Amino acid sequence: MTKLVFFWMLLVSLSASALGQIDTIFFNVGSHTEFYDKVQSDSSGGTRKFDFAPTLGAGLKLNMTEQWFFLPEFNWVLPQKAGSDRVIKNTFMFRADFGYSVLEWMRLRAGTSLLWQNQHGRGGSTNINNGNETSKFYYPDENRSSLNNTLDFGAEAVWDEWAVRLQTYIYSVFMKDKRQVSYTLFFTYYWDHKQ
Amino acid sequence: MKYLLLLLPFISSVHAYTLNNNFGASFKSSSVKVFVDAGTVCPVNQITVNDLESLIDPAIDDFWNTVPTASLRLESGGFSQSISNINEGRLCSPTDEECISEADTAGGLDPMKGIIPPTKEITIACNNNNLNFGGSNVLAVTIPNKFSGKKIVGAMILINESSATFGNLSKQDKIGVIAHEIGHALGLGHTEDTAALMFYRTVNQRKHLGQDDIDGISYLYPISGDAFGLSDGLLGSCGTISTDKKNPPGNSPFFFTMITLGFYVLLFEVLRLLKSSKARSAT
């Protein structure tokens, strides 16, 4: 993880310093929904369309032309706890987009993410119904992570230094049965530090 | 910031997935086959071996094979060679001494009531030995019954033939039951979340996995560097990344991140050069 963060920071700083074009830093607050419409959310067959999973992040806006931008960013879906804190899930997004201003107030994005999903199991057990009796089942007791590369598309409505963005992430583009789409709704503040 | 911290209690849920053993056992390979015992018979539930086999594909393709954060890939293996006492034998966990002792006694009197020998991967069959189920309302039981260290080598799913409850279910519900039992075979335990497939009761409208199921299968079979769904061939994804210092993370994800981000920087630089050469030619 340290290696990955270090590499990410190195890449961003190298490309940015070479260009000397870090005009704008942006900060994200949003909510992340994993696997849109493919997660059962109740016992009557309903599926989840929106999930409240607070997400924080920050990134850089590097101007390539007046209309084109390079937008590397890092986001963190805040820890999701389950089973009285026996399992804690963190999702980290290392991502970068190319952005294009279609209109003065609208920007489209296309890019990719490395999604790092970590589950921290704290062990322990619980008794749960098992047929006609209860049985002991166990909580995970290790730290394990999944890494996925996703193909991403986003659309952003911009006014002044604020923006609202719908960011989508397509998992397993080349594998039909595992293909899923997650999304995040972001509120973004663009801070032009040279002004 | 303090307002953001106030949000934290809202992202905690009471329920979580569980595992069916205390050492987090899973299959060593993320590619696992599901078979139907060729010699099993299910007269009480009025289903044939072909009916049973036809439930496997939807049970794996609609549920367990849909999780991109898991490396697991299940396949239907068709029919496996029949086990002689599959329809009447006793299914015991290798660590359940009481069950093994009872089965040895019964097997001495009638070999068909002895322990069902373990098989490789996952096998489904019907069985009429009441002792395996503990009641006629129990639809099926699953026990991983062959291990190598902390890895599951084989698991057996038995459908209860002491009542016709399973046979009376709709096809979609039968698929849900088989998918639930496959979840146990893969190493998952029950959850109390009614939306999850691993909830301890069947629900009528079972269409997708719940969040607990997705998290559980991703924990047992994590994917290490899924390159847009091509990783099986390109990077040889092989499951667990442990943060245990004895097992440091593999290099594949790091390698792929380098490639992806390096591509971005390269593209950015090319576009920048094109832009500056255009500007020069204009002047």
H, E, C per residue of chain A: CHHHHHHHHHHHHHHHHHHCCEEEEEEEEEEEECCCCCCECCCCCCECCCCCCEEEEEEEEEECCCCEEEEEEEEEEEEEEECCCCEEEEEEEEEEEEEEEEECCEEEEEEEEEEEEEEEECCCEEEEEECCEEEEEECCCCEEEEEEEEEEEEEEEEECCEEEEEEEEEECCCCHHHCEEEEEEEEEEEEECCC
Whether B270 maps to a domain, the answer reads: no
Whether B194 maps to a domain, the answer reads: yes
Query: Any residues with CB less than 8 A from the CB of B56 and at least 6 apart, and which?
Result: B34, B36, B76, B124, B178
Query: Is A52 within 8 Å of B11 (Cβ atoms)?
Result: yes
Return the pLDDT at B72. 95
Return the pLDDT at B233. 35
CA distance A159 to chain B (A): 24
CA distance B75 to chain A (A): 13
Which tokens sit at B13? 């849920």
List the end-to-end C-alpha distance of chain A, in Å, as a whole number. 35
Whether B241 maps to a domain, the answer reads: no
Phi/psi at A172 (nearest 5 deg)? Answer: 45, 55
Whether B181 maps to a domain, the answer reads: yes
Domain residues for the domain of B188 are 13-220
Asked if the C-beta of A110 comes within 8 angstroms of chain B's C-beta atoms, the answer is: no
CA distance B53 to chain A (A): 20
Query: Tokens 């190298």 identify what position?
Result: A14
Interface test with A, best of B139, B220, B257, B269 (most A CBs within 10 A): B257
Whether B246 maps to a domain, the answer reads: no
List the end-to-end C-alpha distance of chain B, in Å, as a whole number. 50
Return the pLDDT at B3. 55
Whether B237 maps to a domain, the answer reads: no
CA distance A151 to A172: 8
* The listed CATH number (3.30.930.10, 1.10.1240.10, 2.40.160.20, 3.40.50.720) that belongs to domain A21-192: 2.40.160.20
Across the range A35-59, mean pLDDT stands at: 94
Query: Is A189 within 8 Å of A166 (Cβ atoms)?
Result: no
Query: How high is the ipTM of this complex?
Result: 0.91
The residue type at B25: A
Return the pLDDT at A165. 98
Q: Tell which wins on pLDDT, A40 or B202.
A: A40
CA distance A74 to B168: 52
Residues of B in contact with A130 (CB under 8 A): 190, 200
Return the pLDDT at B210. 95
Return the pLDDT at A85. 82
CA distance A14 to chain B (A): 9
Q: Tell which wins on pLDDT, A130 or B268.
A: A130
Whether B131 maps to a domain, the answer reads: yes
Q: Please name the residue of chain A whose CA is at the shortest distance from the CA of residue B172.
A: A45
Residues of B in contact with A67 (CB under 8 A): none
Asked if the C-beta of B130 comes within 8 angstroms of chain A's C-beta atoms, the answer is: no
Query: Is B124 within 8 Å of B56 (Cβ atoms)?
Result: yes
Query: Is B136 within 8 Å of B165 (Cβ atoms)?
Result: yes
Number of domains forming the structure of chain B: 1
pTM over 0.80: yes
Across the range A162-181, mean pLDDT stands at: 95
Radius of gyration in angstroms for the set of CA atoms belonging to chain A, rounded to a whole number = 20
Query: Is A191 within 8 Å of A162 (Cβ atoms)?
Result: no
Asked if the C-beta of B6 comes within 8 angstroms of chain A's C-beta atoms, the answer is: no
Contact B229 A143 (CB under 8 A): no
Asked if the C-beta of B172 comes within 8 angstroms of chain A's C-beta atoms, the answer is: no
Q: Which of A15, A39, A129 is nearest residue B211 as measured by Cβ atoms?
A: A39
pLDDT profile of chain B (283 residues), mean per 10:
51 80 91 96 96 97 96 96 95 91 84 89 96 89 93 96 93 95 96 93 87 96 78 37 37 58 68 71 70
Do strands A143-159 and A162-171 pair parallel, antiparallel, or not at all (unpaired)? antiparallel
Contact B260 A143 (CB under 8 A): no
CA distance B120 to chain A (A): 24
CA distance B191 to chain A (A): 7
Q: Please name the residue of chain A whose CA is at the shortest distance from the CA of residue B204.
A: A44
Asked if the C-beta of B276 comes within 8 angstroms of chain A's C-beta atoms, the answer is: no
Contact A131 B135 (CB under 8 A): yes
Residues of B in contact with A54 (CB under 8 A): 4, 7-8, 11
Give residues 72 to 91 of A whose Cβ lies within 8 Å of B: 72, 78-87, 89
What CATH number does the domain containing B137 carry? 3.40.390.10
Whether B173 maps to a domain, the answer reads: yes
Residues of A in contact with B269 (CB under 8 A): 15, 18
Q: Which of A62, A128, A151 is nearest residue B192 as measured by Cβ atoms?
A: A128
Residues of A in contact with B196 (CB under 8 A): 40
Contact A70 B264 (CB under 8 A): yes
Asked if the C-beta of B87 comes within 8 angstroms of chain A's C-beta atoms, the answer is: no
Return the pLDDT at B239. 31
